[in-house]
Amino acid sequence: MGTITGIVNFLAKVRSLSFIQIMQRTLVILFPFALFGAFAQVFAASFLSVGGFFGSIFDVDAWLPHYEALRVLFDDISQLTLGMLTVAGAFQAAKYTAKYYHKDDQMAGLTGAVGYCLIFFHHTTTETGIAVEMRYYDYHWLLVGVLIGYGVGQLFRWFGQSENATAADSALILNRAFLAMRPIAITLFWALALHTGFALLRYAKIDQYITTGVQDLANQKASLPITFGAALLTTVLGWFGFTGPLAYTSKISEIEIWDNLDTALSQGSSWHAPHPYTALSLYHSFGTFGGTGALLALLIGLILLSRNRNSRLVAQWSFFPAIFNASLPTMLGIPILLNPLFFLPFTLIPLVNMGLAAGAIALHWMPPVVYPVPAGTPGPLVAFIGTNGNVPALLFGIGLLVVDVCLYWPFIRLAENVNQHLREEAM
Amino acid sequence: MAFQKIRQWPKAVWHWLFLGLFLLLIVGLAWPSYSWTQANVKQMATRHNAKMSPVIMIPGSSANESRFDDLITTINKTDHQNHSLLRLHIYTDGTIKATGAIRPNDREPFIVVGFENNDDGYDNIKQQAKLFGQAFTQLTKKYNFNNFKGFGHSNGGLIYTDFLEHYFKDDQITMKRLMTVGTPYNFAENSTSRKTQMLADFIKDRSAIPENLVVYSVAGTENYDNDSIVPIKSVAAGKYIYQGQAAQYTQITVTGKMAQHSELLANPQIIELMTRYLLDPVKAPTKKTTTRTYHDADPTNSLENDANGQ
């Protein structure tokens, strides 16, 4: 019991650090936007797209008029929520940091958002106007956005005015703007410097070299260590909220995947696929129920067993997108991102699943997954579809889900103990 | 205590109901998923294991689907492969009339596509390319081939180019080779500095052309300038579309007897070029003759420096 109390005390201490507190508040504020964005994304990708899960199995293009226009509308929603989430994150992080040190938080928030946008502002002039590259504004770069927001908040801590001087009195409002000039100028200067440096890197195509370098590294022969290593890298970076350069993970062992498909189509079944342990047959089929970190199991555990009403509410709302592997609402709402409580299960449970699946394939309980699976297929059905309807693969997937709920269970309890501890300390 | 129990009991039921509904959803979706993947894999396997690799041919303006009959007879006499011939006549409303047939187990049949509206002009070309796209989709569904070769005479090559840029989107089907004969990529323009709207559009959308396609553009010349109808500069303008985008782009000029635009199809030299470059090799290919690079990632001439050179 002594060690458990020690762990709880340690985790409670970590969670009371200023950066962690600011981070977690930011994430919670972003939760509703991530939720709406995830719903829209699921409708666009899984229901309204020909290559999506519902789109394929129910032939949506055959009977739903204007499905493409509908998809564009849903895409627009997700573009302005998920697609701008990092900018919002920079805003909130800067605002909360300034507030934490009792400074002008509104000014800090705006400065954080503008500063972040400036660092990654790349545009080209076209015939019809300006095309801005939005890549760095979407949720994959959330960690970077929050760090920059935190930095801007610190600038306001050192150079900004205290809250008292910034009361929203109409006579003082101009005064307030002038008082914020110094931290804004410093932010813009450094953002411009970083922007220039980054633009030079892009001009020299160094970002492309790095991306292709990582891809070449990943494009090796599919062996167990490579597949597991890539999966661990993905989950660890996912926990940090930094998945930007890893958005290509579906390309890992692409050559082997084609080779497998080729053999399976010639032979009429996937039992004798030449590369049984690819990323597709292990990670994408068994390691991502509910998105990175096998979060569907965590949500089921929270809904069934949590004593905390808020956790249950978040879990219920996040459940629908999570069925279709959109995990962002869960990541922000629980939260999982940068939450030391969930580091171990989030990064390791997918690997446990992959290990069990590799064992089941080695023992010939089920064939390797080689056939194409539509985007947005519910987690436990991926292996079923990808093995051309192998029933043991479906049962194995459902069994894994149960195992994952059991594995997440002690961590759900631990999280509740830490919360309890924090509440007691606060009283 | 009793009160609390009454309050808690339905909540627990709701949670387990939630889980039950989820499991029901998964199992309920498993059945349509099963049908979908079975049908999908079956279709993919049929295509994957298909042996047929047709040559799909488009004649020039004013000609119909019988345009290549003599040519195909000659080829059959030369290579003794007894290629079968299917002719499609496409009406302007999209309906298709077929004559001839593909013999079962013919690995390399000829399919000739003619149009009711076979007029010249960019707008007609665009319409014919669209109709050809529809016919092509029907052909792929009916015959399940996974690769094919293309041949276009005169404006037929323009229809192919428009088709490749706008209607050929199937990633399960490879277009291996395209041969165009006397195709006026810049219509009747004698100089490439005056680009027609069509050529400008073709250049704009060239990135849609498959990067593994091997292209041969054959020109005929009766004198130093043209084949009596199409200027050689107009045929040569094809490089602005294909060179550097397709895996290979080769220009061949045929001169001498029977190098007139319409006579080209009876020219023995053209028939030899077709059997050598367009059709699949008859015997097991010796390594020496077929060392083609299909993935030429480093083309030495780009459009820009070529244009500057002129």
pLDDT in tens, A96-115: 999 988 888 888 999 999 99
Mean pLDDT of A135-161: 88
Count: domains in chain B: 1
User: Is A346 strand, coil or helix?
Assistant: helix
Contact predicate B252/B179, CB 8 Å: no
- As for the ipTM of the complex, it is 0.82
Looking at chain B, which residue has its C-alpha nearest residue A390?
Answer: B34
Instruction: Report chain B residues whose CB lies below 8 A from the CB of A58.
Output: 32
Q: How many CA atoms lie within 13 A of A28 on its CB side?
A: 12
Report which of residues A307 and B34 the model is more confident about: B34
pLDDT of residue A221: 63
How far is the C-alpha of B40 from the C-alpha of B47, rounded, in Å? 11
pLDDT of residue A275: 85
Residue A57 touches chain B, beta carbons under 8 Å: yes
pLDDT tier at A288 (50, 70, 90 boundaries)? confident
Is B241 within the bounds of a domain?
A: yes
Beta bridge partners of A162: A103
CB contact under 8 A, A389 and B48: no
How far is the C-alpha of B64 from the C-alpha of B67, rounded, in Å? 6
Specify the length of chain A in residues: 427
> How far away is chain A from the Cα of B167, in angstroms, using its nearest Cα?
17
CB contact under 8 A, A265 and B37: no
Tell me the two tokens of residue A269: 């079944």
Q: What is the CATH number of the domain that holds B145?
A: 3.40.50.1820
Residue B22 touches chain A, beta carbons under 8 Å: yes
Instruction: Report chain B residues whose CB lies below 8 A from the CB of A303.
Output: 15, 18-19
Disruptive mutation site among A388, A405, A412 for chain B (greatest number of B CBs within 10 Å): A388
pLDDT tier at B310 (50, 70, 90 boundaries)? very low
Q: What is the pLDDT of residues A173-221, one digit of tens each?
A: 777 778 788 899 999 999 999 999 988 887 877 777 776 776 666 666 6
Is B36 within the bounds of a domain?
A: no
Residue B29 touches chain A, beta carbons under 8 Å: yes
Is B44 within the bounds of a domain?
A: no
Range of the domain at B61: 51-280
> How far away is chain A from the Cα of B230, in angstroms, using its nearest Cα?
35
Segment holding A41, helix H or strand E: helix A18-42
Instruction: Report chain A residues whose CB lies below 8 A from the CB of B49.
Output: 265-266
Whether the bond into A345 is cis, omega within 30 of 0: no
Looking at chain B, which residue has its C-alpha nearest residue A380?
Answer: B26
Looking at chain A, which residue has its C-alpha nearest residue B50?
Answer: A266
Is B17 within the bounds of a domain?
A: no
Across the interface, of A58, A268, A371, the residue whose CB is closest to B37 is: A371
Residue A21 touches chain B, beta carbons under 8 Å: no
Contact predicate B1/B8, CB 8 Å: no
Tell me the two tokens of residue A29: 């504020």
Sheet architecture: strand order including B214-221: B96-100, B85-90, B110-115, B55-58, B147-153, B174-181, B214-221, B248-255
Is B289 within the bounds of a domain?
A: no
Taking 60 as the threshold, does the pLDDT of residue B5 lie above it?
Answer: no
Segment holding B114, helix H or strand E: strand B110-115
> How far away is chain A from the Cα of B257, in angstroms, using its nearest Cα?
48
How far is the C-alpha of A190 from the C-alpha of A119, rounded, in Å? 9
Is B4 within the bounds of a domain?
A: no
Is B99 within the bounds of a domain?
A: yes
How far is the C-alpha of A292 from the C-alpha of A331, rounded, in Å? 9
- Angle at CA A44, nearest 5°, toward A40 and A50? 170
Taking 60 as the threshold, does the pLDDT of residue A414 lie above it?
Answer: yes
How far is the C-alpha of B86 from the C-alpha of B69, rounded, in Å? 10
Taking 50 as the threshold, does the pLDDT of residue A384 lie above it?
Answer: yes
CB contact under 8 A, A265 and B44: yes
Is B23 within the bounds of a domain?
A: no
Disruptive mutation site among A385, A387, A395 for chain B (greatest number of B CBs within 10 Å): A385
CB contact under 8 A, A57 and B32: yes
Taking 80 as the threshold, does the pLDDT of residue A51 lie above it?
Answer: yes
Residue A296 touches chain B, beta carbons under 8 Å: no
Contact predicate A354/A338, CB 8 Å: no
pLDDT of residue A341: 86
